[in-house]
A = this chain, B = another copy of it.
């Protein structure tokens, strides 16, 4: 089956398949896509498809993995906190960088978020976000670790999940809200809490 090949023919074929696949996903439901559709749009024989992927689910899996790998790598080892104190500038900068990345890889994220029946894309993405987030927090030596370990579990889940939802909504809005605008609101919610962010008296 698939092993890392340097043969130009292989590289071309795979690229054609993956490209075409994203294109088709932007037009059609994943469930409605057939291997035949993909093969003919990629201008390869249907049998050739099976030389590279087990089936369309395998293809989807690989495309998702590649996309998320690239994304998570952007979370690069920076610290947004200095001595347990929030660096507002760093967080804001980080959020902006992330949203810029999403905008750049627009095609991938649109295909994944808005195709009605991509199995598990959001879950996958959230898992990746979460584990990276937990890693970062793990290195921070927080007082809450001893005092309230459950909070240490819950908060990253809460936040990573929230971010995926926000991201999806942002794409729905044609990603026309600027990174700065979003980043500022996120910072307020993160530091003051959702209720105070709405102007509620707490």
User: Which residues of A come within 8 Å of B, CB atoms?
Assistant: 31, 57, 81, 84-86, 116-120, 122-123, 126, 137, 142-144, 147-148, 150-152, 154-155, 157-166, 168-169, 177, 181-182, 185-186, 188-202
Min CB gap A79→B, angstroms: 12
Q: Are B198 and A189 in contact (CB under 8 A)?
A: no
Chain B residues with CB below 8 A from A164, complex form: 161, 165
Q: How far is the CA of A86 from the CA of B122 in the complex (A)?
A: 32
Chain B residues in 8 Å Cβ range of A201: 84-86
- Cβ distance A15 to chain B, nearest Cβ, rounded Å: 26
Known: A155-B189, A189-B158, A194-B155. A199 touches B144 (CB 8 A): yes
Contact B193 A143 (CB under 8 A): no
- CB pair B191–A150 under 8 Å, yes or no, is no
